[in-house]
Chain A
């Protein structure tokens, strides 16, 4: 629960930032007034999906590729929050939702890449330490 709460706080920060920037862009370009409260509530709901996705991604049980896939699938409904908040202004054309899916997939892939890279570097360091210990023993 503690881990989920931590992930939720972080997800809320980023989703709030993203939605505020999106809202600011719309206000600036189209001069449409938005209430801030629905955006915050939207960010809270979005953060739930993101935190849950992150928990699935980091899950220690099960096949890692399945956890990665599940993490991606779980964060996709957050698109509906954006659609509900900004509706036709952003999703005027049906292909926009696919563009968003591609955008999320790209960001997610980058995160997976960096997580893998960091873990590999750590594993290499640990294996080096282990080999050093073995050499000492020999």
Chain B
């Protein structure tokens, strides 16, 4: 992939033009990543509001009707529901991996399986998230694999 940057002094807003043969999955993901840079997730912690950058979030988890965003060391309470976050973060590296969790695939360190066929993802912060079989195909797509 070639990256060309053109500096124009009198331009009002930064513009990104993607030149490609066809809009394939990779291009779609690239666009989603760029769009994600503008997206902020509003979250609360100790009565203070924060605007979280999605790429720094490890995963979202719903516990007792409350949604939490897990960063490397901190946890914030998010006002959105999981399905709303799914919609906001669609076409990005975020994906629902079980009933209560939306995971940032770019934060996965490795996968492992257990004796009963359960799949687990170990994140870069050493946390372990269970992956439901229902969502494995979607995760493969995000990781660049093909659907079987």
Residues of B contacting A123 with CB < 8 Å?
A: 111-113, 119
List the one stretch of A36-44, A74-82, A93-101, A114-122 in contact with chain B.
A114-122
Per the bound structure, the CA–CA distance linking A80 and B138 in Å amounts to: 42
Determine whether the beta carbon of B144 is less than 8 Å from that of A68.
no
Determine whether the beta carbon of A112 is less than 8 Å from that of B115.
yes
Determine whether the beta carbon of B115 is less than 8 Å from that of A64.
yes
List the one stretch of A15-23, A26-34, A84-92, A129-137 in contact with chain B.
A129-137
What's the interface size class on B, roughly? 20 to 34
**Number of A-B pairs whose CB atoms are under 8 Å?**
64
Residues of B contacting A64 with CB < 8 Å?
A: 114-116, 118
Determine whether the beta carbon of A130 is less than 8 Å from that of B113.
no
Determine whether the beta carbon of B115 is less than 8 Å from that of A122.
no
Residues of A contacting B116 with CB < 8 Å?
A: 57-59, 64, 67-68, 71, 112, 115-116
What's the interface size class on A, roughly? 20 to 34
Determine whether the beta carbon of A125 is less than 8 Å from that of B140.
yes
Smallest CB separation, A88 vs chain B (Å): 37
Residues of B contacting A122 with CB < 8 Å?
A: 113, 119, 136
Does A138 make an interface contact (CB < 8 A)?
A: no
Determine whether the beta carbon of A126 is less than 8 Å from that of B111.
yes
Residues of A contacting B132 with CB < 8 Å?
A: 60
Residues of B contacting A57 with CB < 8 Å?
A: 116
1/0 contact trace for A42-77 toward B, CB 8 Å? Answer: 000000000000000111110011011001000000
Per the bound structure, the CA–CA distance linking A125 and B132 in Å amounts to: 16
Knowing A64-B116, A64-B118, the reply to whether A126 touches B139 (Cβ < 8 A) is yes
Per the bound structure, the CA–CA distance linking A12 and B113 in Å amounts to: 29
Best-buried of A57, A115, A119 by chain B (most CB within 10 Å): A119
Residues of B contacting A129 with CB < 8 Å?
A: 140, 143-145
Per the bound structure, the CA–CA distance linking A51 and B98 in Å amounts to: 21
Per the bound structure, the CA–CA distance linking A115 and B113 in Å amounts to: 10
Best-buried of A116, A120, A122 by chain B (most CB within 10 Å): A122
Per the bound structure, the CA–CA distance linking A57 and B111 in Å amounts to: 20
Knowing A60-B130, A122-B136, the reply to whether A130 touches B111 (Cβ < 8 A) is yes
Contact of B117 among A116, A126, A132, A133 (CB under 8 A): A116
> What would 11 A/B residue contacts be, using CB atoms closer than 8 Å?
A60-B132, A64-B114, A64-B115, A64-B116, A116-B113, A119-B114, A119-B119, A123-B113, A126-B119, A130-B110, A130-B143
A-B residue pairs, 6 tightest by C-beta: A119-B113, A115-B117, A64-B114, A129-B143, A119-B117, A123-B113
